[in-house]
Amino acid sequence: MLQAHQIRGLPILDVETGKELGTCKDILISKEFKAAGMLIDAKRWLSAPRMIRMDALLSIGDDAVMLPNADVIQPWKEELHGDWLCSQHFKGLPVYTSNGHQLGTIEDVYFSKDSDKDIVGLELTDGFLSDIQEGRSWLPIQTPMRIGEDAVIVSSVSEQDVKKIVTNQ
């Protein structure tokens, strides 16, 4: 599994030419909570925003994002992709069950290393002191899940799925 913060800042390389095309600025997430694409931080100043659809990537490695060629890069168009959110949007959002219990606050988003690159879970925090004393929590992604403006709402059975984890900080 990969965490969103591990992917941000990775160089994006063209496998055909070996050329660096930019760096990963953020992961784009659809309303269905699927990894939809990647926002590219251009190498040039004042260039228009660009993106790559997740299904166009060859792989996301520990050290770089690999593309088959530069042709898979598209311009970012608000009218086409306006309902997609950046993974950084989720950091700090509280997660509540449908019966009103807060499970924690989102610290990071986890992605599958498989070809589908789906979102597989959320890393939750209860605050700095709790992280030190008890560690953070892991919530596997389940449906139904609603992404709201101020919170993420999950089913009440999700509360049983929360597991404690220890993160390398």
Q: Residue 23 has what pLDDT?
A: 93
Beta-sheet pairing, 11-14 with 65-67: parallel
Range 88-165: architecture per CATH: Roll (2.30)
CA angle, 35 as apex, 110 and 77 as ends, to 5°? 140
Domain ranges of the chain: 2-86, 88-165
Write down the mean pLDDT value for the chain.
84
State residue 38's pLDDT score: 92
Residues 51-83 have pLDDT tens digits of 999 989 998 888 999 999 999 999 887 656 667
**Listed residue (14, 46, 12) closest to 26, CA to CA:** 12
Residues 11/64, Cβ–Cβ less than 8 Å = yes
* The domain over range 2-86 is classified in CATH as 2.30.30.240: yes
For residue 132, pLDDT over 90 is answered with no
- 3-class DSSP state for residue 86? strand
The mean pLDDT of 36-63, rounded to a whole number, is: 85
Using CB atoms within 10 Å of the CB of residue 90, give its burial: 0 to 12 exposed, 13 to 18 middle, 19+ buried: buried
Answer whether 2-86 and 88-165 agree in fold. Answer: yes
